Amino acid sequence: MLTGRGRYVSDWNLPGQAHAHFLRSDRAHAEIVSIDKEHALRHPGVLAVFTGSDLDLKSLPAALPARGRGGTELINPGRPALAQGRVRFAGDAVALIVAESAIAAHDAAELIAVEYRDLPVVVSTGDALAAGAPLVHDSVPGNIVLDYESGAEAQASEAFRKAARVIDLTVDISRVVGNPMEPRACLAAYVSDQYHLYTCTQGVAIMRNQLSAVLGVPPERIRVIAEEVGGGFGVRFNLYPEYCAALFAAKRLGRPVKWTGTRSEVFLADEQARDVRSRGELALDASGRILGMRFDMVANLGAYLAPTGPFINTIGIVNCLSGVYDVPATYARIRLALTNTAPMAAYRGAGRPIMSYALERLMDHAARELGLDPAEFRRRNFIPKDKFPYRIAAGFEYDCGDFAGVLDTALHASSWKSFDQRKAESAKRGKLRGLGIATYIEATGAGFAPHDQVELRWEGGGNDSDGRITIYAPTHNHGQGHETTFAQLLSGVLGLPLESFRLRTAGPEFYIAGNATGGSRSLLAVGSVVMLAGQEMVKKGMALAAEALEAAVADIEFVQGRYRIKGTDRAISIQNLSRQRPGALDIQYQNKFGATFPNGCHIAEVEIEPETGDAEIVSYVACDDAGNIINHQIVEGQMQGGLTQGAGQVFNELAVYDRSGQLLTGSFMDYAMPRAGLVSGIKLIDHPVPTKLNPLGAKGVGEAGVTGSMPALMNAVVDALRQAGVEHFEMPATPARLWEALQKTKQ
């Protein structure tokens, strides 16, 4: 990367490649009456113009391994690679233009005449669920693709009937745009009866399987290739329709087809995220113990189902429904609604920040209503250490944890008890200082593939010290440091220096099955498989070393990279052994490791300037249990990134559509991303409770920062505003929105 040898998607070029451009709908909902492409076809350099009726492709996949209320199944209305009959959101791809140059393709797109017949638009879930609302898809009654539930409704209702007090809170988890550094792009080719797709992805195996469903060919005939990827965050997990259309065009034309998207297309047509309204309720006894919880949520899935959209907004939300609390009865209902907006799917946390935000905002609100310290109210309801393994009422089982210990460590580090003094000092300077806390838990690492596969292959070397191993793994690195951590794991097993290893995750010359990077699973799942593969390599080499050293296998030991006859100095290095027997030490290995439950306590302090609405994070303490940590620096980087991402949504980010379905926040002039320095005064603390669910004892950390920071920061904002008489406030806490809320209290 430092020497400029890194290749992003747009850096790839193939001989004879053509260039693509997508004509997109300029309206949110309309029938396509006609498409006149004749003028575009006559434009110099144009090779072809494809519309929806030209493409012989199947719908993009979307599924859910669960049923809804009453045994109902998910309704998938389908999504074509190019719009067919109707457009359903502003940015829907209508035509693909392929030309000798990108400029020619772009210019030709302006010559295509599309006649539309406008249809009524629904943008919010409130509009979509209203009686008689226009249908986004005729096959989806009431715009609801699934009415999902989790937990036991009858038991929860009984808990509320017995409650001494019921407290409720409705919150909106706002819509955001992922906006990775690198806009989406692809280079599609059809070579020797194989589809090759160079693209930005979080893992080739998942995308390869999704492509298989659309193209109608076995996944073995598909290669997805990626080197550098400028950010993932969940929005690079899935297949996109443009990739399917480009592959179709490449096969039809017999030439590679390259497409490089723009930042505007990221805003319009990339998967967006969150956009859930939640009404939460707590049933409490007279001592403030939680008897039951209920949540009623409506999730906006946009105009089409993205492959992971239904999963993220159901199982992804409720897998830790009752959080870190010992609650005997819980129930959640989530309705998945369609609107005329961009499709929704995974974004860092993949549903868990939604649940954490809804629950932890409710917990803080309840503590204030009861007149209790928010930390002590949580402690009163924690799952105690002696109850593990603990099966929550929604059905998932936590294997271990020390929630009270995590809380105590965070309270001490944040000087919790002296907050009133700091609040008074801020008041002297005319500022409102708020304190927020969140004790979160999340499920990580489950994955969709049946197993994770890795290969370890030796490369030849000229002397005893330069034999190298290439690690082939399915989980793609785009900022997580897999090259480092996987090398650390193998270095510890094989006794070789870190520079002895290189990582490959996608290429036309090999085929690896497994899960993509996502769900904070790469280290605990694929890393565990890598380590076990190294151990299998050592075992495999024992017989080979015994033969080379002319000794019995029982007399051989492996110490610091060398096989040695016990009690002697006769030895052979594992590198030399690999050169003597080329390929004999190479390993193919697969295994499966499932969900773990990292958790933590985050405590934030925020100052608000009432005259301007400007808010500043003045203190942030994060105490997290991520199990065993392999590389502390990488963990700190992941935490800092996640904290900043959560802060971005709380203070800056909001995707806004007008009533006609036009995206008003379609550029960085209108959509504010978090910047360096947004989260200052960070103090990161470990409180590890190693899991036994994988050989590393690791729990995952990539999404912990955002899962904890969103509720902690918003609770701090609400606490500050409460001092000025603001009773309810929804994110984002931009200066304008904060100032407006404070001004209303003066009226």
Residue 738 sits in a domain whose CATH number is 3.30.365.10
**120-152 pLDDT per residue, tens:** 999 999 999 999 999 999 999 999 999 999 999
Are residue 585 and residue 603 in the same domain, yes or no? no
Are residue 554 and residue 675 in the same domain, yes or no? no
Tokens representing 432 are 């409102």
**560-604 pLDDT per residue, tens:** 999 999 999 999 999 999 999 999 999 999 999 989 999 999 999
What's the rounded mean pLDDT across residues 637-661?
Answer: 96
| Mean pLDDT over each residue of the chain, to the nearest integer | 95
Instruction: Give percent helix, percent strand, percent coil of the chain, each to the nearest 5.
Output: 30, 25, 40
CA gap 238, 518 in Å, rounded: 11
The pLDDT of residue 539: 97
- Edge-first strand listing for the sheet containing 194-199: 46-51, 93-99, 18-24, 257-260, 185-191, 194-199, 222-225
Residue 199 falls within a domain, yes or no?
Answer: yes
**307-359 pLDDT per residue, tens:** 999 999 999 999 999 999 999 999 999 999 999 999 999 999 989 999 999 99
Residue 623 falls within a domain, yes or no?
Answer: yes
> Is pLDDT at 675 greater than 90 in this prediction?
no
Are residue 423 and residue 460 in the same domain, yes or no? no
Residue 355 falls within a domain, yes or no?
Answer: no
The pLDDT of residue 479: 86
CB 55 within 8 A of CB 82: yes
Q: How many domains does the chain have?
A: 3
CB 600 within 8 A of CB 708: yes
The pLDDT of residue 466: 66
The domain boundary, picked from 215, 234, 258, lies at 258
**What band does 416 get if pLDDT is binned at 50, 70 and 90?**
very high
Tokens representing 704 are 């912990």
The pLDDT of residue 6: 87
The pLDDT of residue 461: 54
Residue 541 falls within a domain, yes or no?
Answer: yes
Are residue 526 and residue 469 in the same domain, yes or no? yes
Residue 152 falls within a domain, yes or no?
Answer: no
What's the rounded mean pLDDT across residues 277-305?
Answer: 98
CA gap 493, 78 in Å, rounded: 48
% of residues, the chain, pLDDT over 90? 91
The pLDDT of residue 256: 98
CA gap 134, 141 in Å, rounded: 10
Residue 143 falls within a domain, yes or no?
Answer: no
Tokens representing 537 are 């390599």
Q: What is the 3 state secondary structure string of 525-560?
A: HHHHHHHHHHHHHHHHHHHHHHHHHCCCHHHEEEEC
Are residue 604 and residue 516 in the same domain, yes or no? no
**What band does 462 get if pLDDT is binned at 50, 70 and 90?**
very low
CB 184 within 8 A of CB 270: yes
pTM for the whole structure: 0.96
Are residue 92 and residue 230 in the same domain, yes or no? yes
Are residue 502 and residue 410 in the same domain, yes or no? no
> Is pLDDT at 460 greater than 80 in this prediction?
no
**550-560 pLDDT per residue, tens:** 999 999 999 99
> Is pLDDT at 464 greater than 80 in this prediction?
no
Are residue 600 and residue 586 in the same domain, yes or no? no
What's the rounded mean pLDDT across residues 241-254?
Answer: 98
The domain boundary, picked from 221, 238, 258, lies at 258
Are residue 506 and residue 651 in the same domain, yes or no? no
The domain boundary, picked from 575, 591, 607, lies at 591
The DSSP code sequence of 591-637 is E----B--EEEEEEEEEEETTTTEEEEEEEEEEEE-BS-S-HHHHHH
Alpha-carbon dihedral sign for residues 510, 513, 518, 523:
negative
Beta bridge partners of 197: 188, 224
> Is pLDDT at 157 greater than 60 in this prediction?
yes
Domain containing residue 42: 9-119+186-258
Residue 698 falls within a domain, yes or no?
Answer: yes
Are residue 42 and residue 104 in the same domain, yes or no? yes
Are residue 210 and residue 78 in the same domain, yes or no? yes
**CATH code of the domain containing 94:** 3.90.1170.50
Are residue 426 and residue 547 in the same domain, yes or no? no
The pLDDT of residue 341: 98
Residue 194 falls within a domain, yes or no?
Answer: yes
